[in-house]
């Protein structure tokens, strides 16, 4: 993504540091609560900032670089970004939010190809795998071209709809290109019930993505 977005060597260094650190809060989260679900534990982005500061991981960097890294880590998992930022440039926030989605898509599509007994329940956030069940609220959000909220997710199929809806939230052209090339959306949609309303909502997400990327 760094190359695709034409980042300078200095910008690439910051972006890679953010990529390395953005989920470091997952370690204390799982150690303490045995879950990756923030609603059942604590915001893993906030925990990441705690780890970064406690371990002094950014000591030696310019304060302006520290701010860029910390803000990108802090905001990488928000449903909606705040209206104001301390850092003057939101490039790295946009990059990590898109890169994080690509990584989750990769992990989840690989995971769903495994037999159920081999799937890590923490990675699927503990949602039940009910092959024919899709929550109306999740499908309605996707059909409307909006992001599915995690608090409306009830099943593994709902989680798939949530991840498909992320297509509407990508901001970097390189991320959209990678998403289309790797076929994550069709892969996520494959296990969903064969229903016209679901197919239409998924197709709309793909079509909008392709139109923006054209």
Tens digit of pLDDT for each residue in 3-52? 999 999 999 999 999 999 999 999 999 999 999 999 999 999 999 999 99
Tens digit of pLDDT for each residue in 97-108? 999 999 999 999
pLDDT score of 177: 95
pTM comes to 0.92
**DSSP string covering the chain:** -TTTTT--HHHHHHHHHHHHHTTTTHHHHHHHHS---GGGS--HHHHHHHHHHHTTTTTTS-HHHHHHHHHHHHHTT-SS--S--SSS--HHHHHHHHHHHHHHHHHHHHHHTS-GGGS-TTTTTT-B--TT---HHHHHHHHTTSPPPGGG--BHHHHHHHHHHGGGG---HHHHHHHHHHTHHHHHHTTS---HHHHHHHHHHHHHHHHHH-
Selection from 73, 108, 77, 93 nearest residue 179 by Cα: 108
pLDDT score of 114: 85
pLDDT score of 166: 98
pLDDT score of 78: 94
Whole-number Å distance between alpha carbons of 145 and 75: 22
Tell me which residues of the chain have a pLDDT lower than 50: none
Rounded to 5°, angle at Cα 109 from 150 and 77 = 35
């Amino acid at each position: 993504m760094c190359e695709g977005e034409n980042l300078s060597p200095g910008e690439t260094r910051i972006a890679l540091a953010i990529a390395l650190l953005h989920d470091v809060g997952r370690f204390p989260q799982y150690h303490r609560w045995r879950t990756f679900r923030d609603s059942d534990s604590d915001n893993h982005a906030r925990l990441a900032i705690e780890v970064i500061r406690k371990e002094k991981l950014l000591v030696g960097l310019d304060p302006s670089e520290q701010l860029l890294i910390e803000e990108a880590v802090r905001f990488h998992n928000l449903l909606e970004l705040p209206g104001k930022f301390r850092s003057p440039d939101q490039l790295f926030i946009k990059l990590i939010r898109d890169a994080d989605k690509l990584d989750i898509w990769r992990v989840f599509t690989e995971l769903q190809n495994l037999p159920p007994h081999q799937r890590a329940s923490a990675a699927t956030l503990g949602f039940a795998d009910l092959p024919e069940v899709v929550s109306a609220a999740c499908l309605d959000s996707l059909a409307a071209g909006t992001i599915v909220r995690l608090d409306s997710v009830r099943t593994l199929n709902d989680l798939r709809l949530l991840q498909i809806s992320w297509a509407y939230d990508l901001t970097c052209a390189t991320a959209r290109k990678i998403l289309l090339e790797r076929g994550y959306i069709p892969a996520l949609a494959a296990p969903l019930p064969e229903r016209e309303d679901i197919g239409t909502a998924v197709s709309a997400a793909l079509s909008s993505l392709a139109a923006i990327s054209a």
